[in-house]
Amino acid sequence: MEIKAWTYEEFPEFTEEVEGAQVLETTGDEPGTCYLHDVEYANMDGVPLHLQIVAPTSRNHPYNAFGGEQAMARPCFVFVQGSAWMEQYVYMNVCHMARLAARGYVCAIVQYRHSGQAPFPAQAIDTRNAIRFLRVNAKKYGIDPDRMIVAGDSSGGHTAMWAGLRHNDDTEENLFPGVSAEVKGIVNYYGSVSVMLEDGNPSTLNHHQPDSPEGMEMGGVDLRNRPDLCRQLSVEENIDESTPVAPTLIFHGTKDRIVNTKESVLLYNAMKAAGKDVALYLLKGADHGGTEFWTEQILDIVDQFMQRCFA
């Protein structure tokens, strides 16, 4: 056989019969994924912020992990990893993102400035800049900039909601002037979206105190006598009929010990009352996260929701 830079199309296929060997058919469209780790999207006051990008790939539509433009433009699922607004373990859901990527989505997990580095709304500001970065580099990462969703779990669900509510493209918060951070939809997994309830975080013994997750998120403030700041942080308190918000999909377990299920119910009812496009799925017996939220059934619901948002 000649040694040269063969193209796939011209390379001669091995066709000899081998006794005892079995030949399996392939199509070239068997779904796979490619993982690009720790892609820096911004540096905020000396704090480098990264994305974990998981993209679809196959023989017929290979993903170029070494740079250059991608052959296809895929919808993008931007996911904010929850952490009680503290330092994130951004690799926690990479495997789950791979399952969604295998369905044809470029998935990007967002690292934000945690509450020890910057208070609310820094996390939403960072997420919107991550979306803009992905738009600016859409060809490089194989993204369709017109088909983007923001999602998140726990505090990341709170951040995803606020990323969909800020509408601040024309302010100094935008690191990519002229580039929009608007999305077609929001997926909120058991988000810590409200601090209006006394039992909103059933396992947080220092609830609303300065060193609580929500107190730290507001800059180390005692929220026990600050209903104004509680309203400022709570998503449902900032949505009315005039609020632009993308279609929203909410999931929450009925035995969530960390974030009371009532928080998602509050948000769902507030959005319904304001005439917004919202759906709530309650997972019977599910706690705060877990594999129940990544079953094929749930992935089907998320997939169908996104396709409707993109229609």
* Residue 54 CA: distances (Å) to CA of 80, 110, 129, 309: 14, 12, 19, 21
**pLDDT score at 67:** 81
| Average confidence (pLDDT) over 114-142 | 97
**pLDDT score at 66:** 86
Angle between helices 122-136 and 155-163 (to 10 degrees): 60
- Pairing state of beta strands 32-44 and 47-57? antiparallel
Q: Domains in the chain, ordered, with CATH? A: 32-310 (3.40.50.1820)
pLDDT in tens, 205-228: 999 999 999 999 999 999 999 999
The model's pTM: 0.96
- Residue 244's pLDDT band (boundaries 50, 70, 90)? very high
Quick check: 1 pLDDT over 90? Answer: no
**pLDDT score at 50:** 98
Helix (H) or strand (E) holding 99: helix 94-101
Provide the b/e sequence for 130-153 (b: ≥16 CB within 10 Å).
Answer: bbbbbbebbeebbbebebbbbbbb
Determine what percent of the chain is predicted with pLDDT higher than 90: 96
Quick check: 238 pLDDT over 90? Answer: yes
* 1 or 257, higher pLDDT: 257
* Residue whose C-alpha is closest to residue 193's, from 243, 233, 240, 253: 233
Q: Is 166 exposed, middle or buried (0-12, 13-18, 19+ CB in 10 A)?
A: middle
**pLDDT score at 68:** 86
Q: Give the residues across from 283 on adjacent strands.
A: 253
